[in-house]
Structure 1
């Protein structure tokens, strides 16, 4: 069973030593259409709310956790730039089968919806970014300490059909992938939109 990674709780670590970077080319036509649809909606939201209109981050929680489902999407070129693995919340269970979502403080679940990515800081897991929920489905994200951070239990390469570790609600990526995300975030003069959907 994969290990767990917490947001504001101590993590149980399952180390993976994988350094080769992989980009998913195995999206189904339906998944690609879904990604395109959310990207189009994200582009409109970004323009209307003074977010970065060059790129956004999209996470499709309907995909298996061992498959790349964190997408860096180029809004100007209307194309996928890169993707990576991301953990989902275990809802305070030892191991969450399937998906459950929540927005209550202490629930340990992933919250669906749009987020503004805040400033970077150094936390329990090193570099992290505050997240501010923009919808009623995730408006407790800040009070829940839901942040974008990395953990070594998240591998760089896809491992599907195997699953990866689960979090306490944070979108948790590999250290290698967070470095890539940070390079984009640090250059952005405007807030960047993160959208988690199912």
Structure 2
């Protein structure tokens, strides 16, 4: 009787080990696949950012803006993910990133993306911006933005500024979205503090470039 019980336990143990090995061999390739997809995605993002940063550096040199640092905002990325990037133009590398809201175009909630430059449109404007002087306004410390392209030429008239907002989280919340603005690039207070140090210490104005690769296809 004891021998039968021992054999049964041994058989059960063997089946458990076999099942565990099978599960591990099935799981391992899947983990590598997820890692590979993430790596490819990151490479694609870096390639895209470099593609925008490179001509921005030439523009900065030509017009005497900061040639060491720029800010890149990729509006093709969902709002719950980091899409505001602090980019080192000398090292061609992202040194910091955070969340940023986009304009709701005067809707209660804007589905997808829509862009505009008309005064009162409430939309995000694509293009290059010069980050101007700081001031204290409705949302605390903020930085004036000067549109440098035809797509954002009314930014100053529209009072589109870089400012923080309490409803913008400090960390990614994807797949959930974050709040929307009336056209301003709104960030968290903690992230604005980081950006503010770079802006205030820069001997020349820093460029901000807001783009959406999907709108340029």
TM range, normalised to the smaller chain? 0.7 to 0.9
- Structure having the higher strand fraction is 1
Q: Secondary structure at the match of 1:28?
A: helix
Range moving further from structure 2, 35-44 or 176-185: 35-44
For 2:9, the equivalent position in structure 1 comes to none
For 1:36, the equivalent position in structure 2 comes to 50
Q: TM-score, length-normalised on structure 1?
A: 0.86
For 1:85, the equivalent position in structure 2 comes to 99
Q: Secondary structure at the match of 1:47?
A: helix
Answer yes or no: is 1:182 the counterpart of 2:201.
no
Deviations 1:26-84 (A, max 9, x none): 75332221111111111111111100001000000000000000000001111110000
Q: TM-score, length-normalised on structure 2?
A: 0.79
How much does 1:114 deviate? 0.1
Q: After TM superposition, list the pairs within 5 Å mapping 1:1-198 onto structure 2.
A: 27-198=41-212
Distance of 1:158 and 1:32 partners within structure 2? 18
Distance of 2:201 and 2:130 partners within structure 1? 16
Q: Secondary structure at the match of 2:110?
A: coil
How much does 1:108 deviate? 0.1
Runs of 4 or more, structure 1, over 4 Å off, are none
Show structure 2 runs of 5+ residues with no match.
Answer: 1-37, 213-217
The CA RMSD over aligned residues, in Å, is 1.1
- Structure having the higher helix fraction is 2
Between structure 1 and structure 2, the one with the greater Rg is 2
Distance of 2:180 and 2:193 partners within structure 1? 20
Tell me how many residue pairs correspond in the alignment: 174
Distance of 2:42 and 2:183 partners within structure 1? 27
